Chain A
Amino acid sequence: MNELPLSITEQLNNILQSILYVVPETALAILFLLVIITGLLLKKDADRFCQLLSLFGLVFVFQRDVQQLYLILSGPKFLFNNMLLLHHVSIVFKLIFEALAFLIVVYVPLDEQLKVHKKGLSDLYAIIIAVVFGLHLMAMSVNLLMIYLSVEMVSIGSFLMVAYRSENRFAVESGLKYVLFGFAASATMLYGMSLLYAFTGQLDLFNGQFLEQLIHLNPVPVSLAILLVLTGIGFKLSFVPMHFWVPDVYEGAATPIVAFLSTLTKIVGFALLANFLTPFIFFSHWTAFDFRLFFSAVAILTMVTGNFAAILQNNLKRMLAYSAIGHTGFGLMALVTFSQQGVSALLFYLLVYALANIGALMLCSFYAGKNSMLTVQDLRGLGKTYPFAGVCFVILLISLTGLPVSAGFNGKVLVFSAVIEVYRQTHNIWLLALLVTGAVTTVVSLFYYFKIPLYLFLKSAENETELPAEKKQTFLLIIIGLLSALVLLIGIYPGFLSDLVR
């Protein structure tokens, strides 16, 4: 039924050639092993050394990725018998992963709650490296098996990270919820994939027959299968039906982990969705399941729930969780355009969102200190005591809301222009609804984002007690300062970033 089985030798040659193209991944694997070994060997000062090692490793991998860019100038490459697809967009995703992972690894020891952890952080670095490895695979996977493998790897890694601080009630509870929800979601995905395999007998998405088979079948079961697979991916992206775990887990887990989850896993979700959808979109007469309609509805729902629910939140991290959902909706809007410009706008927007979000979370841990629960009321009057942190917080929030001069604004402008461009061609009413929801939710987001400076600056602290001055994470403040400066810089000169992203 399919072509003659490739002889073993050809398969081996194929694999050998592909190895060349997976240098960054192999480097990551080696790095992972090294970090575990150092973690075991050097008992006492393991954390510091592991951190340095993983940082160097990430820089090395980053450098390798850049090299890969030149490798694929001639065009995307299928590796390991169509298991992975290395193309420009996936490399850019990988670069983003390296950068953000670097940032998070730097951030991890600075968080109060994690630093005091008795088991030490060396294991955490190892897990992070492993998950980054999983992210790489996920960004490139085009084969159902590969998708499932990489999703599982990333999920298990993130389960461990969320539940890392086993002594804290909230962390453990969020871990449990995350595990149960994640595991169920991946089970559904697996079932969906098995159905797809049943229908097409193929695991490779980009294979011609894959879609041929699907066309001849009755659209209803096909769309059920696709739906089930989308739930798995949705869990990673946390759009509307799959967003319930987000607030609890973000509130419970340690802040650096939340930073990791809210940025990296979300971005890789988009990467995976892009890869998964490409065959369906470019396959001309695909009628079974109208992706654009589905995703526009989901995007609107996500934006509305995310932003409107955030209004009522008092807890800072929970509010940032809901705002993350809102931003996912906005990202989906960019994706729905299915155009090259849409994807590059999406990349720009996600990177800028990630920077601002990590900055905001860093500030949460800066203000939270020991106690994990940080409500907006606790911030009352802190603006005057820590002016520098307060100003950075405002800059980051401006970027998150998308007010001008900030990077977020340029992101939103790019996304809006992409959507308008596509709307101009297709006049699809859904795109217009997306535009209007985007605009309205931006205004709503201003309302809850500006609750923070409201308490920081405008409200005066009742008890004028000076907060413990020893809160001297100057290093953390420096990073936050760098981040807000970066956000402002991108705001004024988006040029250099957008060229990279294109």
Chain B
Amino acid sequence: MEQIYTLQTHSSEIQLALAAVLLPFAAFIINFLLPKTVLNKGEGLFSTVCILFSLICSCLLFAKVWARKPIHEQVLWFQIGTIKIYAGLLLNNLSVLMLPLVSGIALAVHIYSVAYMHDDLMFRRYFRYLSFFCFAMMALVVSDNLLLMYAFWELVGFASYLLIGFWFTREKAVQANKKAFIMNRIGDIGFLIGIMILFAHFHTFDLITLFNYPTNFSSSGNLSGTWLIVAGICFFLGATAKSAQFPLHTWLPDAMEGPTSVSALIHAATMVAAGVFLLARVYPVFNPDVKLIITIVGTFTAFMAATIALTQNDLKKILAYSTISQLGFMVAAMGIGAYASSLFHLATHAFFKCLLFLSAGVIIHEMQHIKEKLHLDIDPQNILYMGGLRKVLPITFITCIIAALALIGFPLTSGYLSKDGILIQAFEWAEGRSFLYQLIPIFILITSWLTAFYISRLLFKVFWGESRLKEMIPTFEYHPSKENKLFTWPMLFLSVFCLFPFFSLNPLLYEHAWLFRGFLAADYFERENIYHTIIPAAVNLITVPVVYLAYARYINQNIKWFPESGFLFRLSYNHWYIDQFYQNYIAKSVVWTGRKIYAFDLFVIDGLVNLIAKVGLIISQISNWLDKYIIDGAVNFIAFRIRDIGSFARGFQTGKVQQYLLTMLIFILSIYIFKILI
């Protein structure tokens, strides 16, 4: 990428980019203002049209800017003291790739959800939030400075909060979106601290000046080593929250409470990819040891998510964990330096994962119908009640198969190109290193096999064999429901992208993919070595028996290898107890400290103040008491007025003039004596 950076006034590109970004926002505003009565389903149509146009613009933009000079345009946003803060657009390969990707998937999901949400009474609100999300995501992709990026980063989190909690009357949905937002918030804090560190040293937010694209980040000038690492970790923390990496991943499975179309768009393709996008954007910040941390976290997440996905019964939960594990792949790829293949995988993954979710949506939709018709109390998302759906939903079945193959990384699919790219570069990366480093590629390998296993388990459980409902209701009979056109078309549209031709002509060699070439670092040299051949072969050869194994296990149950019990199963089944750990340790402890501090505040500080008030009163009482009793006692004693003791005057003002006179005399004598002493 030897393009030199020049500031030309590419007015046409800028207008295209602005149009692409602002169209969904226009949709959001107009939906908001449009009175209810115009067209009862008008909003859906309107925002779909807008997203369509924005797709067209981004494709045109893609054509104009891909592999050419990045365009940067900015305008003064505001000035603090002497520092000027600019806001603008940065269109380089990365952003230009992401634009069509996001709008393409968004279009598919829009069409899909017109049908999917058809009978939902809050239809208008759904499309408002959806177009708001698209606007935020697109803006995030093109923004040119860290502050603006952070702003849209949080807005994306906010949009996902709205969409997860869309059916806000459902208690679980509301819990989920609160959790999601707070988890993202933790990530945002990391992101903010990262920005602060960079700002502290360079006094600017602009990505250009910071990382002076496209040459790599050499200006780590006065940013001392330790601060660089801390900044790197903070940015990575931001990415982990958004892309649901290991410590902060528990919100994604719960986010499945939202409508499936939402999960398809947000929790499969776009938002979760934002984390990886951030890593790509600020890639120069990471120095080698931070990259190592990223790799470790990435691989571990991938492996962990894959193991959990093995035993889940909820259809969407499995897909959620598979997303986490695929994201783990991408993050690991970023860590080992395979920048280009990680983004390649991001693009391909977006398509087939969205496709998987959409098909899952159709299945759940179908199960919902059955449930209502026969008013069974089964959970429509639980795969244990499904089975034999291939006859009922043929097209979904085909698209699902394609997507699954892409996910496994079966040759001829786009997944193969991107996943194997990562695998090969992982092995190259680990080649010279000590034994520990070798673990990384091995783990990645194991994870890809596990992926193959759980996705095939899903397929066989859902599509093959007889419907489990039969055991419950013998008379149950599927009757083929006409698959709604609005479902099938987007799915087919997406499945096209899952196959290899779109990305590269030669199905086997990932280097030839145009997308891969777009991101290659200038000094990338073709390293022909044995890995190129062994790894892909090994992976595919082993996936075949794994798939067969899953087939054998679940369809004709002749292999009892995978007991439904045992420690491992339980560990994996309840998400490695991480969620419970978070729930009853961290969440509870924070609230507990809150309560304790409040109690402290109430009794100690407030108490202290009341204490001071009381002390004030007590002092006055003591001074009063002192006046009354000490002197009064002496008087009686001297005057032998025994019977007076009975009538102790309440106040010093005993009313007896003589006592006043006496106290006066005593006072004068005391002064007199005092005078003598000095």
Interface residues of chain A, those whose CB is within 8 Å of chain B, are: 173, 176-177, 180-181, 184-185, 219-220, 223-224, 227-228, 231, 240-242, 244-245, 247-248, 289, 294, 304-305, 308-309, 311-312, 444, 447
Contact = CB atoms under 8 A, between A and B. Distances in A.
Contacts of A185: 664
Nearest to B658: A180
Given A224-B675, A244-B659, A312-B624, 19 more contacts: A176-B657, A180-B658, A181-B660, A185-B664, A223-B675, A227-B668, A227-B671, A227-B675, A231-B664, A231-B668, A244-B652, A244-B664, A245-B657, A309-B623, A311-B616, A312-B620, A312-B621, A444-B616, A447-B616
B657 A181 contact: yes
A303 to B, nearest CB: 12
Contacts of B619: 308
Contact of A220 (B657, B661, B667, B675): B675
A305 B668 contact: no
A224 B653 contact: no
Nearest to A310: B620
Contacts of B658: 180
A240 B668 CA distance: 11
B663 interface: yes
B567 interface: no
B623 A241 contact: no
A180 B663 contact: no
Contacts of A245: 657, 660
B4 interface: no
Contacts of A305: 623, 627
B657 A180 contact: yes
B624 A308 contact: yes
Contacts of B675: 219-220, 223-224, 227, 289
The 3 A-B pairs with the shortest beta carbon distances in the complex, nearest first, are A241-B667, A244-B660, A308-B620
Interface string B629-670: 000000000000000000000001101011111011001100
B616 A227 contact: no
Contact of A241 (B616, B653, B659, B664): B664
Given A177-B657, A181-B660, A244-B660, A309 B672 contact: no
B655 A224 contact: no
A244 B663 contact: yes
| Residue of B617, B619, B620 with most chain A CB atoms under a 10 A cut-off | B620
Contacts of A176: 657
Contacts of B671: 227, 294
A252 B671 CA distance: 31
B676 interface: yes
A447 B675 CA distance: 37
Nearest to B655: A248
Nearest to A318: B653
A416 to B, nearest CB: 22
Nearest to B623: A308
B668 A241 contact: yes
A59 B190 CA distance: 82
A289 B658 CA distance: 29
Given A176-B657, A184-B661, A248-B655, A220 B676 contact: yes
A241 B664 CA distance: 5
Interface of B: 616-617, 619-621, 623-624, 627, 652-653, 655, 657-661, 663-664, 667-668, 671-672, 675-676
Contacts of B668: 227-228, 231, 241
B617 A311 contact: yes
A224 B617 contact: no
A390 to B, nearest CB: 26
Contacts of B659: 244
B676 A309 contact: no
A242 to B, nearest CB: 6
A227 B672 contact: yes
Contacts of A247: 653
A248 B616 CA distance: 25
10 contacts: A177-B660, A180-B658, A180-B661, A185-B664, A227-B672, A241-B667, A245-B660, A305-B623, A309-B620, A311-B617
Contacts of A248: 653, 655
Contacts of B616: 311, 444, 447
Nearest to B676: A220
Contacts of A181: 657, 660-661
A444 B617 CA distance: 10
B624 A309 contact: yes
A244 B653 contact: yes
A400 to B, nearest CB: 18
Contacts of A289: 675
A445 to B, nearest CB: 12
Nearest to B622: A308
A483 to B, nearest CB: 29
Contacts of A308: 619-620, 623-624
B128 to A, nearest CB: 50
A223 B668 CA distance: 11
Contact of B655 (A177, A240, A241, A312): A177
Nearest to B621: A312
Nearest to A313: B651
A309 B663 CA distance: 17
A224 B672 contact: yes
A264 to B, nearest CB: 22
Contacts of B621: 312
Contacts of A309: 620, 623-624, 627
Contacts of A241: 663-664, 667-668
A223 B617 CA distance: 37
B559 to A, nearest CB: 83
A242 B653 contact: no
A177 B664 CA distance: 14
Contacts of A173: 655
Contacts of A184: 661
Contacts of B653: 244, 247-248
A244 B671 CA distance: 18
A326 to B, nearest CB: 12
A316 B661 CA distance: 25
A184 B664 CA distance: 11
B623 A304 contact: yes
Contacts of B676: 220
A308 B621 CA distance: 8
A305 B624 CA distance: 8
Contacts of B652: 244
Nearest to B671: A227
B630 to A, nearest CB: 14
A240 B627 CA distance: 12
A220 B675 CA distance: 7
Contacts of A227: 668, 671-672, 675
A311 B672 contact: no
Nearest to B663: A244
A312 B617 CA distance: 9
Nearest to B620: A308
| Residue of B617, B657, B661 with most chain A CB atoms under a 10 A cut-off | B657
A227 to B, nearest CB: 6
Contacts of B655: 173, 177, 248
Contacts of A240: 667
A308 to B, nearest CB: 4
Nearest to A223: B675
B614 to A, nearest CB: 12
Contacts of B667: 240-241
A242 B664 CA distance: 6
A226 B664 CA distance: 15
A305 B625 CA distance: 12
Contacts of A231: 664, 668
Contacts of B627: 305, 309
Nearest to B672: A224
Nearest to A321: B653
Given A220-B676, A224-B672, A241-B668, A311 B660 contact: no
A244 B662 CA distance: 11
A241 B667 CA distance: 6
B502 to A, nearest CB: 78
